[in-house]
Structure 1
Amino acid sequence: MKLPLIVRSRSAVRSLKSFFPILACISFITVLLLNSFSPVMAQLPRQEIRGVWITNNDFNTLRDRAKVQSAMTQLRELNFNTIYPVVWNSGYVMYPSAVAQRAGIQPFVFRGADGHDILEDLITQAHRRGLLAIPWFEFGFMAPPTSELALEHPEWLTQKRDGSETSISAAGEVVWLNPFHPEVQQFITSLVVETVTQYNVDGIQFDDHMSLPHEFGYDPYTIRLYTQETKNRPPNNPNDEAWVKWRADKITAFMVQLNQAVKARKPNAIFSVAPNYYDFAYKFQLQDWLAWMRQNIVDELIVQIYRPDLQSFVSNISRREIQEAQQVIPTGIGVMTGLRNRPVSIQQIKAQVRAAQARGLGVTFFYYETLWDSAPEPANKRIAGFKSLFPNPAFRSALQSGN
C-alpha cells in the first residue's frame, strides 16, 4: 500500500520542480515591482509654487473684467499656478466687508468699473483657468496714521519707548496695531474669517507685516500685560532677549489661534506665510515664523529675498531654515520683478529663478504689473523669458498643499 504513495509523491515532486523556475521568476518580478514603487512614491516632489502677488498698483487691471480675464489666461498659458491678490492694504479691505464697516471703515472702497466685487471676479476667473487664488493680507498689523482705522481706534495702536507711534516703511509713514491687544486680535481674526467664509478662496496669506518692529510694545496696555506676567517692567533696551522673546511668543500664540479660526471654517485652506529671512524676521520684526512652522500651522512658506546681487540671493535661499521648511511643506522664494521706480531686468529674474529651481524651491513674483507691463524690456521679450522658466505645467491642489 505504501509503494503507490511513494510513487505518487515522487511524481508530485517532479511536477513541482518543473514549476520552480516560474515561481522564482514571479517572485523576482514582484520584488522588482515593490522596490520600484517605494522610491517613486518617496521621491514625488512637493507641489511647486509658481505665483505672483497682485497689488493695489495693479488696480487698473483688477477693476476691469476683460483685463482680469486676459491676465488670468496669460498666467495660465505661461504655466503659473497661483495668484496672491491683496485684500488688506492701507487700513482698507478690497471687498465689501461688514467687519470693516463695524470698525468705522468705509464699506467697499475698491469697486470694479461697473461697481462689481473685484475679489469675487478675480477668484472666479482664476479658478476657471486652474489657478489657485490665495488672498493676501498685505498690511498685517500696519496702517497709515491718517487711515480711518487709526483715527477711529487710537487705543489699538502701540508705541515706541519715547511715546512716538510711527515708523517708516516701504509704504511710507505707518502706525502699528497692537498685536497683543485682544480687540486688535479679534478685528484681524474677524476680517480673515470673513474672507475665507465669504469667498471661494484656496487659502489666506500673511507676509512680513504680520509682525511688529522691535522698537514697539511700550504702550500702556502692553506694559501692564508684561508687568502682570513677569513682575517686571519692559526693559529700556528693545533688543533685550527676554523682551524680544515675550513679544514674539505672543504673536506666535495669536497666529496659532488665527490658524485654528481659519481651519474651523475651511479645513483645506492653505495657511500661507511670506516673511523675510528668519534672523531678520525674529530679531527686528518679532516674527518667529520658524516656531509657527514647527507648530504645524504653516501650510506654505514663501521667503522674501529681494537682492539684486546673485551671490547674496543664493546665500539667502540656501539658509538652513529654508531647507528645513521644504522637507515638510511647499516652499518658495519671493523674487522681485521690479518697482515703478526700480525696474529689474529679465536676465536678473531668470538667474534668480534658476537658482531657486536648482534647490527645489518654487517662486512668487512681486508684482503683477512688473512682470511685463511695466518693465525695462519689451513685453514680448519678458513673456518669452517667463515661458522659458516654466516650459511645462505644474498644477496645484489646495487639498494637497498642507503637511
Structure 2
Amino acid sequence: MAVAQAEGRAPSVVAAVARDGEIVWEGSATSVDGHGPDGDVQYRIGSITKTFTAVLVLRLRDEGLLDLGDPIGKHLPDTGVDEVTVGQLLAHTAGLAAETPGGWWERTPASERPELADVLGEDPYRHPVGRRHHYSNPGYTLLGSLVAKLRGAPWEDVLRREILEPLGLTRTSPQPEAPYAGGWAVHPWADALLPEQVEDLGLMAPAGQLWSTTRDLARFALFLAQGDERVLSAETVQEMRTPAAPLEEGDWDASYGLGVQVFRREGGSLAGHGGSLPGYLACLLFSADDGLAAVALTNCTSGPLMGALAGELLHLVAEAEPRFPEPWRPLPEVDPRVLELAGPWYWGTHAFGLRVLADGIELGPLEGRGRSARFRAEEDGTWTGLNGYYAGESLRPVRRADGALSHLDLGSFVFTREPYEAGAPVPGGVDPEGWRGLKPQGE
C-alpha cells in the first residue's frame, strides 16, 4: 500500500482485507504527516455503485416483479431502447453507448440531463443488441429508473431501505458524510494538486453516485460472497458473479456477470468491481472460495492502480496464509436410498463415480477431465445439477418394479452399473451377444 501511494503520487490510500467476514488488516498511507485516514473515512466509489443497483434489480426478479428476459420497454416504455432486456443491461450487452451525449456527465451538472431521453440521446446504440460486451453507464441509469418505477420510490430511498439498513452499511451514502476525503487531481508533470469538483449525478446516480468506506465495502463483499436472506440468497449472489457477457478478444481472463466483474486466476476466480470519478479511484475484490476480500480507495483522479493493489493484497494473504480446509465430518444420518446411488456408474464406456456428500451428491469422471457436477435433492426424489454441463439438468434414479435401483437418467443420458449393461434401457439397445473378442482374419 505504501508503494502504491508513493509511486501513484496519491494524497492518500486506504485499504482493508477481510477474511471469513472479519476485517483482519487495515491501514493507510498519506501525504499529510500525522494524519492517516482509517476504515471509517468515506471516499467516492464510482462504479462500484452499479453492483448495489444490480442487487436491487435482482431483488425485483426474485420477488417475481420482473424477469431478466423482459424487454425494458415492458416496465419503462418509450425510452427509445424498448427492445433491450433487463439481463442485457445488467451484463452490459445491450449495445448501448458507454457515455451520455453532451458534456462529460461526471463533471457537468445533473440539470443538463433531466430526463432519460437526455441520458440516452437520439442515437443510443453502438452495437447490435446482445452481441458483445460494451460497458454502458446510461444502461445502469435505466436500471435505476426501473427500480424507482417498480418500487414507487426514489432509487436512493430504495437503496437505503433494501440494502444499506439490512446489511448495516451505516457509512455508505449518496452524499458525503463526514469524515470524508476530498478529491484531488495530481499534476502529471509536477508534484502539485488541484481540487476536483463534486457533482450530484442526478439520473446517473445508479451508475456511480455512492460514497463509502473500506469497512462498509468489506461487509458488502461478504454479502456478495455468501448472500444474506434479508437481501439476496446465496444462490442469487452466485448468479451475479457468474459470467454473463461474451468475452472480448484478447481479454480472456476477465468477464462480466450481473453487476459484477469476474476475473479468472489460477485455481479459481475473483469477483468485484472497480470505480472512478473525478478525484477518486476505488476497487473491491473478493474470492468466495478463499473467504477473502480486499478493498482499496484513494482520493485522486489518476495514479495508483486500485485493482492491482486489491488483487495483490488478496494474493499475499492467500499465498502466505492459505485457508485451512473445513474438517471432514461424517453425515449425521444416512438415507439408504441415497447411499444406494454411491459408487461407479457408466455412461456408455465412460466410467463415472458418484459420491454422497453432506449437501448433495457429486458425479464426475473417474479419469481425466470431463462432465462433473454437483446436484441438490428435490422433494420428488430427483436431483438438480448445480454447475458445469449439467447445471439445471435433472438426474432421476430409475427403479425396477421390485424397487431395486436400475439406472440413472440424466437429461436422457442413461448411466448403468456396468458398461452397456444387458437388460438396461440403453438408447439404441445392447447387442444380445454381449461383449466379445476379435477373431483373427480367416476364422
Report the TM range for the smaller structure's normalisation: under 0.3
TM-score scaled by length of structure 2 = 0.24
TM-score scaled by length of structure 1 = 0.26
Higher relative helix content: 1
Higher relative strand content: 2
